[in-house]
Amino acid sequence: MKNIIIGLSGHIDHGKTSFIRVINNYDGDLRSDEIERGMTIDLSFSSVVLGDKQISFIDVPGHEKLVKNMISGAFGIDILALIVALDDSLMPQSIEHLYIAKLLGIKEIIIFLTKSDLVDENRVEQVKAEVANFVQKLGFSIRGIHNFSIYDENSINEAKKALSLLEPQAKQTSLFFRYYCDRIFSKKGTGTIVTGTLLSGEIKRGERVFICDLGREVVVKSIHNHDKEVESANFGQRIAFGLSNVSANEIKKGFILSKKGILRKFSKIDCVIFSLTEIKNNQNAVFFIGAKRLNATINILEQSEDRIFATLNLSEGIFATFRENFILRDNAKTIGGGFVLNPISDPMRKSQKLEYLKYLFENDLENAFKILLSAHNRGFGLIQSLQRFNLTHSSSLEVAKKIKDIFIDENALVLYSLSVQDEIKKVILKMIEKNNNAIFSASSVNMQVKWSSLLFTQQILDTLESENKIKKMPNNLYVSTKSKIDDIFTYSKDLIIKELESSPFSPEAPYNIYDKLNIDRKFGDSIFKNLTKNRKVVRLSHNVFILTDYLNKIMQNFREIIKEEGYIDIEIAKKHYNISRKYLICYLEYLDNFSDIVKENTKRMLKNA
Q: What is the pLDDT of residue 30?
A: 42
Percent of the chain with pLDDT over 70: 92
Query: How much is the mean pLDDT over the chain?
Result: 88
> What is the topology classification, in CATH, of domain 266-352?
Elongation Factor Tu (Ef-tu); domain 3 (2.40.30)
Q: Dihedral, CA atoms, 411, 416, 418, 424, nearest 10 degrees?
A: -90
Exposure string for 46-57, b = 16+ CB within 10 A, e = fewer: bbbebeebbbbb
Residues 6+ apart with CB under 8 A from 106: 7, 74, 77, 78, 79, 80, 140
The residues spanned by each domain of the chain are 2-164, 178-258, 266-352, 420-480, 488-606
pTM value is: 0.78
Tell me the residue type at 502: S
Residues 6+ apart with CB under 8 A from 142: 109, 110, 111, 132, 135, 136
> What is the topology classification, in CATH, of domain 2-164?
Rossmann fold (3.40.50)
Question: Of the ranges 21-25, 33-37, 449-453, 602-606, which one carries the lowest mean pLDDT score?
Answer: 33-37
pLDDT interval class at 16 (50, 70, 90): confident
Question: Of the ranges 296-300, 433-437, 453-457, 528-532, which one carries the lowest mean pLDDT score?
Answer: 433-437
Class of CATH domain 178-258: mainly beta
Instruction: Decide which of 301 and 183 is more confident.
Output: 301
Classify strands 79-85 and 108-114 as parallel, antiparallel or unpaired.
parallel
Closest CA to 162 of 1, 48, 29: 48
What is each CA distance from 504 to 101, 416, 492, 507, in whole angstroms? 78, 46, 18, 6
Q: 420-480 — its CATH code?
A: 1.10.10.10
What is d(CA 377, CA 225) in angstroms, rounded to the nearest whole number? Answer: 48
> What is the topology classification, in CATH, of domain 488-606?
Arc Repressor Mutant, subunit A (1.10.10)
Q: What is the pLDDT of residue 430?
A: 95
* 499-515 confidence digits (pLDDT tens): 999 999 999 999 999 98
* 554-585 confidence digits (pLDDT tens): 999 999 999 999 999 999 999 999 999 999 99
For residue 62, pLDDT beyond 50 = no
* 470-499 confidence digits (pLDDT tens): 999 988 899 999 999 989 999 999 999 999
Asked if domains 2-164 and 266-352 share a fold, the reply is: no
Contact 128, 144 (CB under 8 A): no
Enumerate helices (H) and strands (E) in the chain, giving the number of each. 19, 31
Residues 6+ apart with CB under 8 A from 270: 301, 309, 310, 311, 312, 340, 341, 342, 353, 357
pLDDT interval class at 316 (50, 70, 90): very high
Q: What is the pLDDT of residue 28?
A: 45
* 87-116 confidence digits (pLDDT tens): 988 988 888 888 888 888 888 999 999 999
